[in-house]
Amino acid sequence: MISHARHFDSGVSTSERISHSEMNWKRPSTVLVFACLLAAAVIAFAQTPDPQKPNTTTATNPQAANAGAANGRQSAQLIYTTLPKTSVAKLKSGESAVQEIRGKITFTLTAANNDDTVTGTLVYTISNEARQKIAQVSDKPLNSIPASVSQKGVVASFHRGAACPVINLEIGAAELDVAGVKLSFKRVVVDIIETPAQIPQLFCAWTRQINAKRQRRGIIASLNRLITVEPD
């Protein structure tokens, strides 16, 4: 029976052969560690935000804010404006009413009040035809007549029995100055339309609590946390 023995180079010591074997075993391990470190660095660089780009995780509109709320995240503040609604004003010069002016009214919410009223900014958008009438009455050039006028700090209250899907907010008699003449409103009504968005849903809950004669301070506080006051 022939025995096969492994022959080693007689010129290489045993310790050198062991060291050489360890180097051969460590080389692939070192390469693997380096590859892992390189991959981690690439991932970290990819996740670093670019200061030149906007932060897309912050909700800057009602749709994004509502999506954040649905996922349990803190919502960004919102600017809520009612849909434009036709409103008739009396064009006054001096003490007498001259003629009717038609335009579009919107109301931007700025505060919810504990007395079941809301405060906001009333904006009246004037058509070109109405601007021409104002120019004639005021004896001023058409280009000096603004396309819209606004008034801050306007208080609106809920119409009695108001409820979703359409909540009426009533504003009492008001006057707006346009190029030195007065637009007089006997009564202004704006609408909050029910949608899945946060603010309309809070208004729906508010009116339900009013009609049921239940406490609503928590709802009012929630509205005020969401509202963004318009910049000056």
Q: For 32-63, how does the pLDDT look when each residue is reduced to its tens digit (9 = 90+)?
A: 544 545 554 444 444 444 433 333 222 333 33
Q: Is there a single domain that holds both residue 107 and residue 21? A: no
For the CA atoms of 214, 218, 219, 223, the dihedral, rounded to the nearest 10 degrees, stands at 160
Q: Is the pLDDT of residue 3 over 70?
A: no
Q: Is there a single domain that holds both residue 24 and residue 116? A: no
Q: Is there a single domain that holds both residue 92 and residue 41? A: no
Q: Is there a single domain that holds both residue 108 and residue 206? A: yes
Q: Is there a single domain that holds both residue 193 and residue 118? A: yes
Residue 125 has a pLDDT of 97
Residue 114 lies in a domain: yes
Residue 145 has a pLDDT of 95
Residue 137 lies in a domain: yes
108-167 pLDDT, tens digit per residue, is 999 999 999 999 999 999 999 999 999 988 889 999 999 999 999 999 999 999 999 999
Residue 3 lies in a domain: no
62-72 pLDDT, tens digit per residue, is 333 333 333 33
Distance (Å) of CA 108 to CA 78, 120, 155, 171, 206: 11, 5, 11, 13, 18
The 3-state DSSP class for residue 147 equals coil
In terms of Cβ atoms closer than 10 Å to its own Cβ (0-12, 13-18, 19+), residue 205 is middle
Q: Is there a single domain that holds both residue 106 and residue 215? A: yes
Q: Is there a single domain that holds both residue 152 and residue 213? A: yes
Residue 64 lies in a domain: no
- The residue among 108 and 73 whose pLDDT is bigger is 108
**Which residues are 93's β-sheet partners?**
96
Q: Is there a single domain that holds both residue 28 and residue 94? A: no
Q: Is there a single domain that holds both residue 26 and residue 94? A: no
Residue 180 has a pLDDT of 85
Q: Is there a single domain that holds both residue 206 and residue 145? A: yes
Q: Compute the mean pLDDT over every residue in the chain, rounded to the nearest whole number.
A: 75
Instruction: State the average pLDDT over residues 96-114.
Output: 90
Q: Is the pLDDT of residue 5 over 90?
A: no
Residue 187 lies in a domain: yes
- The residue among 186 and 98 whose pLDDT is bigger is 186
Residue 199 lies in a domain: yes
Q: Is there a single domain that holds both residue 92 and residue 43? A: no
Residue-by-residue DSSP string for 65-91: HHHHHHTTPPPPPB--BPPPEEEEEEE
In which domain, by residue range, is 37 found? 12-48
Cα first-last separation, the chain: 104
Residue 55 lies in a domain: no
Residue 98 has a pLDDT of 75
Instruction: State the average pLDDT over residues 191-219.
Output: 97
pTM of structure: 0.65
Residue 61 has a pLDDT of 38
168-177 pLDDT, tens digit per residue, is 999 999 999 9
Residue 54 lies in a domain: no
176 CB neighbour count, 10 Å cutoff: 19
Please give the tally of structural domains in the chain.
Answer: 2
- Buried/exposed code over 107-135 (b: 16+ C-beta within 10 A; e: otherwise): bbbbebeeeeebbbbbbbbbeeebbebbb
Q: Is there a single domain that holds both residue 39 and residue 95? A: no
